[in-house]
């Protein structure tokens, strides 16, 4: 069931809610027509993160951007499910079925790329193509080693969570954003991004309590859709390492590096990011037309 938002809190007149079988009401924007692109946001973000893509690509595509449960603008809603990547994957699958556009071109960023990866692995019939931008999560390089985040990353996240839960939200956000991009990124961020991050700050401690599944060779074999892997030229090594390894492991994968950009490449360099998405999807369609 879809309903148009009427509360003044939700300033975006395009905002709609879809109620999925679990009872969760998912806020989303759905703009344009044509082949459906589904955008999956990452940490501290919501559907607003994808404005630079929706504004440009909705002229040729149907652009759908939901906010996952626990995120703004429904952050304070009575949500029964736990904050886990498994629950987000399940609700996203139900969301696609509820809207009815499957299969869709799925584009995920950071933690959202991890959600998108699992969605493509678990529900390949829902995913036409997959785009992973700076995918977050640990790498499992062999079948015996236990994959986990570096100890320094775990320690920093613990400190960030402590700052946010003690009320030092801005200090915690600055520490986290600078750690996943480059030092000074928070202070240089547009006001719209900072507002979005503040609106979603309470999700970080929840996120840090979960353990993202590791990317492995075995799991990558389950990705059967064509895949575009995007990283920023200056993205932290953990993201670039993930992109490089997934480019080796996923059978139908190609890689695009956004020059001059770091982790938030779709916001910092939207024209280059959008060109990469458009070219990738058009090349997929050309291949299908020649079959």
What's the number of domains the chain is made of? 1
Residue 261 scores a pLDDT above 60: yes
Overall pTM surpassing 0.95 (yes/no): no
- State the pLDDT confidence band at 143, using cuts at 50, 70 and 90: low
Asked if residue 232 is part of any domain, the answer here is: yes
Asked if residue 228 is part of any domain, the answer here is: yes
Backbone angles phi, psi at 274, to 5 degrees: -65, -40
Mean pLDDT, residues 25-40: 96
Mean pLDDT, residues 151-174: 93
Asked if residue 169 is part of any domain, the answer here is: no
Asked if residue 40 is part of any domain, the answer here is: yes
Listed in sequence order, the residues at least 6 apart from 98 whose beta carbon sits closer than 8 Å to its beta carbon are 2, 18, 19, 20
What's the CA gap between 57 and 184, in Å, rounded? 30
Asked if residue 10 is part of any domain, the answer here is: yes
Listed in sequence order, the residues at least 6 apart from 66 whose beta carbon sits closer than 8 Å to its beta carbon are 18, 26, 27, 28, 38, 40, 47, 92, 95
Percent residues over pLDDT 90 in the chain: 78
- State the pLDDT confidence band at 290, using cuts at 50, 70 and 90: low
Of 88, 74, 94, 63, the closest CA to residue 5 belongs to 74
Asked if residue 225 is part of any domain, the answer here is: yes
Asked if residue 134 is part of any domain, the answer here is: yes
- The predicted-structure confidence for 48-99, as pLDDT tens digits, reads as follows 999 999 999 999 999 999 999 999 998 665 566 789 999 999 999 999 999 9
Mean pLDDT, residues 12-34: 91
What's the CA gap between 252 and 223, in Å, rounded? 8
What's the CA gap between 193 and 153, in Å, rounded? 23
Which domain range does residue 60 map to? 2-146+213-290
What mean pLDDT is reported for the chain?
90
| Domain at 121, CATH number | 3.40.50.1820
Residue 252 scores a pLDDT above 50: yes
pLDDT on residue 82: 87
Cross-strand pairs, 161: none
- The predicted-structure confidence for 175-222, as pLDDT tens digits, reads as follows 999 998 889 999 999 999 999 999 999 999 999 988 889 999 999 999
pLDDT on residue 146: 55
Residue 6 scores a pLDDT above 60: no
Asked if residue 58 is part of any domain, the answer here is: yes
């Amino acid at each position: 069931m879809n309903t148009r938002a009427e509360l003044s809190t939700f300033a975006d007149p395009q905002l709609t809610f879809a109620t999925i079988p679990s009872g969760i009401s998912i806020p989303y924007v759905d703009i344009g027509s044509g082949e459906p692109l589904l955008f999956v946001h990452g940490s501290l973000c919501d559907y607003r993160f994808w404005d630079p893509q929706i504004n440009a690509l909705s002229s040729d595509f149907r652009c759908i951007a939901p906010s996952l449960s626990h995120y703004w603008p429904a952050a304070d809603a009575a949500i029964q499910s736990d904050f886990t990547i498994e629950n987000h994957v399940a609700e996203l699958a139900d969301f696609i079925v509820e809207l009815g556009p499957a299969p869709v071109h799925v584009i995920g960023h950071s933690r959202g790329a991890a959600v998108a990866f699992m969605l493509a692995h678990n529900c390949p019939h829902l995913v036409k193509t997959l785009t992973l931008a700076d995918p977050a999560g640990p790498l499992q390089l062999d079948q015996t080693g236990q994959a986990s985040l570096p100890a320094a990353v775990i320690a920093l996240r613990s400190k960030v969570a402590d700052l946010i839960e003690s009320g030092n939200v801005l200090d915690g956000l600055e520490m986290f954003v600078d750690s996943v991009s480059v030092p000074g990124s928070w202070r240089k961020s547009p006001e719209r991004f900072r507002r979005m991050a503040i609106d979603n700050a309470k999700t970080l401690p929840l996120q840090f309590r979960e353990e993202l599944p590791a990317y492995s060779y075995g799991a990558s074999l389950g990705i059967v859709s064509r895949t575009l892997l995007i990283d920023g030229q200056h993205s932290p090594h953990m993201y670039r390492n993930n992109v490089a390894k997934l480019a080796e492991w996923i059978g139908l994968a190609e890689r695009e590096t956004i020059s001059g950009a770091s982790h938030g490449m779709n916001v910092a360099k939207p024209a280059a990011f959008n060109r990469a998405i458009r070219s990738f999807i058009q090349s997929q369609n050309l291949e299908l037309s020649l079959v």
